[in-house]
Amino acid sequence: MGQFPLTLSRFILQKQTFPGGTGELSRILDQVGLVGKLIAQDLRRAGLINILGASGEVNVQGETVKKLDEIANETFLKAFRQSGLACAIASEEMEKPVLLPENWPQAKYMLLFDPLDGSSNTDCNMPLGAIFSVLKCERNDRMPTEDELVRRGTEQVAAGYLFYGSSTMLVYTVGQGVHGFTLEPGIGEYLLSHEQIRLPARGKVYGVNEGNYHKWTSGTKKYVDSLKIQDKATGRPYSVRYSGCLVADVHRILLGGGIYLYPGEVDKPNGKLRLLYEANPLAWIVEQAGGRASTGTMRILDVEAKQLHQRVPLMIGSADDVRDAEQSIQGQT
Ligand code: FBP
């Protein structure tokens, strides 16, 4: 028998050191893992248990809510309400955060998440994900407020995603590199499959919704056009890989390099994606793996957070590819 498989909990205990740590952050990662197991189980049978289609609701983003969005959101809420591990929770699907006085002050962490990423993929069995960001509640004189959840990406203490692809994975960072675990359904455990992930400085694929081309700035158009030029020396043209699921596209790039873009548009300079529970956690993951994440003009993790559901343009992936995009968008090439 080869090396005995390393479970998520064992890996965290053995390899992750949190000065003055109480094990709470590890338990939060474990709880996210539990949410992933529950949602993966539903997804595997989605077409059989009447959970496909729209729920009839419209969320704070003005988007049609899918039944699976609601199920995923409820699963996160229940898991963290009952865990006693978080004193506040914010979600893409909820206008206001849920404050948990019953968990305060013993719980000093707050969780922000996109419960189901890739909503346009839910009804066609295409890849899906969930994205999470963990912040520490700095105050102990009173319950946290919404403002305390609206913080720069540099203040995250943990971040990651669940990826519902051909297998279910949990990928995270606590600032000590990026590690990937694959769910072994037979034993219901996440086992270490990708330790210390590093992405190459340059890739061969790009992901962007080119259907929005006419809405882009000239700098963005110029950059995406440049990826299609025949130039062996620079490995161009790149191949398009856009799945409709940010987590799936970033996961591919994390393992093989390349760039994903959801740029700002002339009439919508902040684009579509949300800063606090989509861009910030993925930016930290990619940076910890040696990549780069930018708005086109500044580092995502340095963007000042002002609102819970604020949007931000995102270009993320291999460091040299993202630098090229920044230079083009800033009109320097
Ligand atoms: P959701 O979290 O609502 O799914 O939005 C994010 C997302 O679906 C990403 O996963 C994906 O990359 C992008 O939006 C697709 O947007 P578009 O359909 O405009 O290309």
Does the C-beta of 117 come closer than 6 Å to ligand 1? yes
More confident residue, 20 or 40: 40
pLDDT at 64: 86
Q: Whose CA is nearest to atom 8 of ligand 1?
A: 118
In 3-state terms, the chain is what percent helix, strand and coil (to 5)? 35, 25, 40
Atom of ligand 1 nearest to the CA of 211: 20
CB atoms within 10 A of CB 24: 18
Q: Whose CA is nearest to atom 3 of ligand 1?
A: 119
Does the C-beta of 310 come closer than 6 Å to ligand 1? no
User: Are 330 and 297 in contact, with CB atoms under 8 Å apart?
Assistant: yes
47 CB-contact burial (10 Å; exposed 0-12 / middle 13-18 / buried 19+):
exposed
Does the C-beta of 69 come closer than 6 Å to ligand 1? no
Determine phi and psi for 80, rounding to 5 degrees.
Answer: -90, -25
Cα of 109 to ligand 1 centre, how many Å?
Answer: 27
Cα 27 to Cα 50, 108, 299, 323: the distances in Å are 32, 13, 30, 37
pLDDT band per the 50, 70, 90 thresholds, residue 20: low
Listing DSSP states for 41-98 in one string gives HHHHTGGGTT--SEEEEE-TTSPEEEHHHHHHHHHHHHHHHHHS-EEEEEETT-SSPE
- Local structure of residue 311 (DSSP, 8 states): B
Give the mean pLDDT of the chain.
94
pLDDT at 176 over 60: yes
Q: What is the per-residue pLDDT across 239-270, written as a single tens digit (0 to 9) for each?
A: 999 999 999 999 999 999 999 999 999 999 99
187 CB-contact burial (10 Å; exposed 0-12 / middle 13-18 / buried 19+):
exposed
Does the C-beta of 119 come closer than 6 Å to ligand 1? yes
Does the pTM exceed 0.95?
A: yes
pLDDT at 136 over 90: yes
Average pLDDT over residues 29-41: 97
pLDDT at 51 over 70: yes
To test the pocket of ligand 1, the residue of 76, 116, 120, 163 to mutate (highest count of ligand atoms within 8 Å of its CB) is 120
